[in-house]
Every structure is written in structure tokens, then in C-alpha cells.
Amino acid sequence: MTDIRDDARAGFEAVFGRASDGLWSAPGRVNLIGEHTDYNEGFVLPFAIDRRTLVALGVREDRTLRIASTFADEAVEIPLDELLAGADGAVPAPGALGGWSAYPLGVAWALGESGADLSAVPGLDLFIDSDVPVGAGLSSSAAIECSVGLALNDVWRLGLDRPALASIGQRAENVAVGAPTGIMDQSASLLGAADHAVFLDCRTLDSELVPLGLDEAGLAILVIDTGVKHAHATGGYGERRAACERGAAALGASSLRDVTVDELPRAQRLLDDVTFRRVRHVVTENQRVLDTVAVLRTQGATGIGELLDASHRSMRDDFEISVPELDLAVETAVGAGALGARMTGGGFGGSAIALVRVGDLSRIQVAVDNAFGEHAYGQPDTFVVSASDGATRN
């Protein structure tokens, strides 16, 4: 099997006809718990996974950016100064950058917008390769943003730290791609570490690495990619975000972070049923993140199964972002012996995760495959992920 790093270097050479000057990579993520809490200034507990996006890069003598990838046949080329022309307040219209190139070019644009001095930096050739599945809810987009962000930060000597690069990636996604997402995915991709989850306070952006200890406990995280595609630039994601903002305003809070579980009865009296259930998900989910961190630190991962299950129920019934395939994956995994399971990521498709004893892995995989077959759903892709290091120069 060839190493994906060799593939990225070879891809660069094939497109640009010379050797690359360097290689950077950033991982996708799985969120262990804390869903739709990030844009509510709450808590999240994702980890970086052992699936990565690689960027092979070569410095040019002019100020053009040329980007090629395994996602599309065509290379995209744009003069850096044209891209940055929007940096004085005007922003590129979502979609103006076109398709997959909005992610890497959006990062260069966001660096300029954030005030980084790009007046004398050289143009670049970039080749992007990835083994993070696209549309599976594992943050293939953040993996592109963070690998490109780290590469540009290094090669252009901008001196930004990782939290700043996470914000740049988020800005690219919000403005250039047009998806109103939070800071979780980019933070996981940049701050992750092997065998640890990233406990992030999305209000202060303080983060802490929490040991998962899965190997020692004989446990694994199984991803069940349902194959149901989702897109957060359209539809449900933005509606959920708006409902949270409405709920917070009606409760006189600047964000749902400031609403506690004890205040839910009052919220129920003040809010309509749908808004109340959206609020209840976020408020209880924040508490579940704190509880999960506490259990990981005291009992270890064996003790967090029920919290994962409760998180899924809350997303299914209160936040209403699950789909039948995700519910089936979760129910089947738990029924076949998983310690806990939940959908992960923004929802409306994508993947579920199950916390599984290593000895039960193949039995649970078979049970999930069979259940999907019985429901005449497309076969899911099931695979184990391990918590891995964040973005790096390779």
C-alpha cells in the first residue's frame, strides 16, 4: 500500500511538473459529544481521527495561486491580489470561488481579511489529497481548511497560533463556502492529540486535552457512515442555529451557554414547544459534555455509554437532526452490545459513532450491515477510528 503522503507528492509533480517544497496535513474529526453547542458558546469534546488531508506545496515566482486536487480534474488559478481585493470589507459571495476550491482559497482570503500582511508573499502551487471521506460528517472541509491554513502560515511566515488558524478556517467556511458553522471542527483538527479528546470551551476558546484511554480499556470507536449526504450551507443547520438564537433572546440570555438545566422549567413556560425543545437539547448537551469529561477522568471511557445514548435521544427527539438511517445505526449497535452510540456532527445524514468492546467489533458491524439490508437502505461504511495528532508539517 502506498502512503498517502507519497500520493500527495506524486500528485503535485504530475500536475505542476516539479517536486513540491513541503507537505502539510490535517485530520478530520469525530465528535465524541457536544453537538450544536459550539455556536451557542458551549462545550464540545471532539477528537482528531486517523484520516487526513494532505497539502503538497511549491513556492512560485509570481503572485498567483494555483490549486489542484484529487477532488476535481481541473486546477483552479487566481491572482492572489484579485482574491484579496475583497479583503477590505467586501467578501467573496458564497459560491463565487466555486466548488471545492472555496475551502483552500477561502483560507487565503480569510488570512488577508484578518489583517495578515500578504503584500509581499509569493504565489503558490498547491496539490490537495485526502482520505477523509467527503459528506460523511467527519469534517473533510475542516481538514482542508486546517492543512492549507497551517501550510500558508508556515510558508508565508505569518506567525499565527493554532486557535487563530482555527478561526481563519471557520471564517473561510462561513463566508467563502456560506455554511454558518461553529469553531469545533477546525479546533479538533488543529488541537487534537493521539489518544486524547479536545475539551473546548467555545466561549473562551480555552481548551484541554482529555485522555480517552480506549486501548487500555479494550474499547474502540466504530464509525458507521450511513452514506446519507448532508450540506450545512443549506437548510436545517441554519434553521437550528436561528432557533437557538431566538430561544436565548426570549430568555434574556446572550447565548444558550448562560441557560442552566435548572432554568428549563421557566424556559418551557416562556417558549413555544419547538423552540423549547431546541433549547433543551443545547442546555442538556452542554451538561452532558461536562459530565462526560468528569466520567472520563474518574472511571474512564467504559463509563460514558449512557451519556452518548442520551445525547442521541436528545438530537433525535428535541433537536430533530437525526435521520432514520442514523437512528437504525445507533439502535442496532447498542442492541448488539455497544456501550453507547450517537450520531456525530451536524446531522441530517453522515455518520454515527459507537463505543464498542474490541472483541464485539465484527459482531456489531455485521449486525449493522444486516439491519441496513433488512430496511433496504444502502450498505453503510463501517470502520474504526483512533484519536490522532492534529495538523502538522510532514
Interface region with ligand GLA, contact rule CB under 6 A, candidates 34-42, 78-86, 103-111, 257-265: 34-42
| C-alpha–C-alpha distance, residues 318 and 374, integer Å | 27
Q: Are 1 and 22 in contact (CB under 8 A)?
A: no
| Smallest separation (angstroms) from ligand GLA to the CB of 249 | 19
Find the distance separating the first CA and the last CA of the chain, reported in whole Å. 19
Could you tell me which stretch among 66-74, 109-117, 181-189, 270-278 binds ligand GLA (CB under 6 A)?
A: 181-189
Selected from 128, 138, 184, 333, the binder of ligand GLA by CB under 6 A is 184
346 touches 323 (CB < 8 A): no
Q: Which amino acid is at 271?
A: L
Candidates 18-26, 29-37, 217-225, 328-336; binding stretch for ligand GLA (CB under 6 A): 29-37
Q: Which is nearer to ligand GLA, 345 or 380 (CB)?
A: 345
Pairing, β 392-393 against β 72-79: unpaired
Residue 151 CB coordination number (10 Å): 26
Choice from 8, 23, 28, 35 touching ligand GLA (CB under 6 A): 35
Q: Does the protein bind ligand GLA through residue 178 (CB under 6 A)? A: no
Structure-block grid coordinates of residue 114: 484578518
Q: Do residues 187 and 163 lie in contact, with contact meaning Cβ atoms separated by under 8 Å? A: yes
Select the span of 14-22, 76-84, 176-184, 371-379 touching ligand GLA (CB under 6 A): 176-184
Helix axes of 305-313 and 324-335: crossing angle, nearest 10 degrees: 150
To ligand GLA, the closest distance from the beta carbon of 50 in angstroms equals 19
Nearer to ligand GLA, 202 or 219 (CB): 202
CA distances from 311 to 128, 348, 384 (A): 35, 15, 21
Which range, of 75-83, 182-190, 299-307, 378-386, touches ligand GLA by CB under 6 A?
A: 182-190
177: which residues sit within 8 A by CB, 6+ positions away?
94, 102, 103, 106, 141, 233
113 lines the binding site for ligand GLA (CB under 6 A): no
Report, in Å, the least distance between residue 213 CB and ligand GLA.
24
CB of 1 to ligand GLA, least distance (A): 30
Report the distance separating Cα 64 and Cα 82, nearest Å.
9
Piece of the chain touching ligand GLA by CB under 6 A; list 30-38, 159-167, 248-256, 267-275? 30-38
Q: Is 46 in the site for ligand GLA (CB under 6 A)?
A: no
Tell me whether residue 39 or residue 199 sits nearer to ligand GLA (CB atom).
39
Subset of residues 307 to 336 that bind ligand GLA, contact rule: CB under 6 A = none
Please name the amino acid found at residue 33. Answer: I
Rounded Cα–Cα distance for residues 194 and 93 (Å): 37
In whole angstroms, the minimum distance from the beta carbon of 18 to ligand GLA comes to 35
Q: How many other C-beta atoms can be found within 10 angstroms of the C-beta atom of residue 335?
A: 13
Active site residues: 185
Among 38, 113, 309, 360, binds ligand GLA (CB under 6 A): 38
C-alpha 330/C-alpha 382 separation (Å) is: 12
Cell numbers linked to 53 = 488531508
Handedness of CA 54, 56, 59, 65 (dihedral sign): negative
The label of the residue with cell 450511513 reads 226
- How far is it, in rounded angstroms, from Cα 394 to Cα 385? 20
Residue located via cell numbers 484529487 = 70
The grid cell for 250 is 426570549
Query: Which residue's Cβ lies closest to ligand GLA?
Result: 346
Rounded to a whole number of angstroms, the minimum distance from the CB of residue 347 to ligand GLA is 7
Minimum gap (Å) between residue 39 Cβ and ligand GLA? 6
Compose the 337-356 pattern: x for residues touching ligand GLA by CB under 6 A, - for all others. --------xx----------
Size of the residue set binding ligand GLA (CB under 6 A): 12
36 binds ligand GLA (CB under 6 A): yes
**Whole-angstrom distance, CA of residue 129 vs CA of residue 70:** 6
Q: How far is the CB of 237 from ligand GLA (least distance, A)?
A: 7
CA-CA distance, 326 to 320, in Å (whole number)? 12
> Is 181 an interacting residue with respect to ligand GLA (CB under 6 A)?
yes
Residues found near ligand GLA in the complex (CB under 6 A)? 31, 35-36, 38-39, 181-182, 184-185, 232, 345-346
